[in-house]
Amino acid sequence: MSEENKRRHLFISHHHQDDAEVTKLTNMLSSKGYDIRNSSVRMKPENQRRVEEKRVSDTVIERILRMKISWASTVVVLIGKDTHTRNWVNWEIDKAHQQGKRIVGVFVRGGTEADIPPSLEKYGSAIVGWNTDSIISAIDGQNNFQTPDGNSRSAVNVGGSLNC
């Protein structure tokens, strides 16, 4: 497989407390020879503080996120503790769906089915456990739905996203 064939353009949607999991995911896929290009937003503490203090408007954040999602071919949603409560994660999934992106959920260690964001249940193309082969297969188009331990589960949605 050529280098070009192993390149994946991803937007990794996640709760900012799961930033370390983004690194683990990209490192895991890279260790298998994949060239992961990640356009997701990872905030330095000072930028996180600016957002929390409302010194950055939601309109600015939305514009940046829309551009970053547009660039990616697939949106990967890390499913960790409390992911389902994050408004921005659901917003990113909704925008990815509107843009016709493939949307893949990946359970991080400790993530449960109760942590799946409502928009991911509605629009997800696949939801898989923390396993390189399952993740790459889902990114590449397999509509596989799993529990956190990798067993099969039924899909809640019937449509999913388009693969552009």
Domains of the chain: 4-139 (3.40.50.9200)
> Which residue has tokens 């449509």?
159
Helices (H), 72-157: 87-98, 118-123, 132-139
CA distance 135 to 83: 18
Instruction: Please indicate whether residue 113 or residue 57 has the higher confidence score (pLDDT).
Output: 113
Buried b (16+ CB within 10 A) or exposed e, 89-117: bbbbbbbbbeeebbbbbbbbeebeeebbb
The pLDDT tens digits for 9-43 are 999 998 878 888 999 999 999 998 898 888 777 66
pTM score of the predicted model: 0.85
The pLDDT tens digits for 95-147 are 999 999 999 999 998 899 999 999 999 999 999 999 999 999 999 999 889 98
Average confidence (pLDDT) over 32-61: 75
Confirm if 119 and 94 have CB atoms less than 8 A apart: yes
> Which residue has tokens 């769906």?
97
Dihedral, 19, 138, 121, 36 alpha carbons, nearest 10: 20
